Amino acid sequence: MKTEINPKNSNREEAFNLWMSSPMPMVTLVKTMDVTRLVKYSIKHHMSFNMLLCWCIGKAATSIEEFYVLLEHGKLYRYDCLAINVIVNNKDGGINSCDIPYTDDLDHFNNDYMRLTQLASQNCKSSFLEDAMVIGTSAMTATELDCIVNQYSDQFCNPMVMWGKYRKGWFTTTLPISFQFHHVQMDGGHAARFLEQLQSIIKTELQ
């Protein structure tokens, strides 16, 4: 469920006034993550690495209030739940997207992820959740990437997490992750805290 809020009655009032008229209000931060434990968990439990990373992204976002607020068509809305958007290669050689509702229950999230991505791939149709604040993701795992800066469209102000192929070292596997967000939704400090929280969850939540 989403509810329109008056910026004057929120902690985003100043940001709303500052950045609504900006021609480029998106900010991108990049952090290299230690994903060693995530890779090991993926192999041990036969789970998709990208699914596990999406779950960690959702879990990190739930602890930051600003993720539940989103700018849409010049208005602010507050949501009561989150979802993760995934880009899927379909059987016809194109792409579709699907929104996966976030839940703390990893098995439940995994089941939804596998079911919805397979449907999108087979049916060549996208699926969307209108009543969830959606965090976009894009995994370009064909090559290693240092940084990704996404296009900006005023029709899509959702935060976006992007990555390429992870890098295997002797003892540590790393992955540069790009996080793009609209400055009305959150400030750099919130984004940095999200990235720190994401790294902590990757290292400690999946044993």
Q: Where are the domains of the chain?
A: 24-204
pLDDT tens digits, 61-87? 999 999 999 998 889 999 999 999 999
pLDDT tens digits, 161-174? 999 999 999 999 99
Sheet with 69-72: list strands edge to edge: 2-5, 75-79, 69-72
- pLDDT at 161 (0 to 100): 97
- pLDDT at 21 (0 to 100): 82
Rounded to two decimals, what is the model's pTM? Answer: 0.96
Q: What is the CATH number of domain 24-204?
A: 3.30.559.10
Of 72, 14, 67, residue with least CA distance to 185: 67
Mean pLDDT of 97-103: 97
CA torsion angle 164 128 184 53 (round to 10): -30
pLDDT at 23 over 90: no
pLDDT at 119 over 90: yes
Comparison of pLDDT for 11 and 137, the residue scoring more: 137
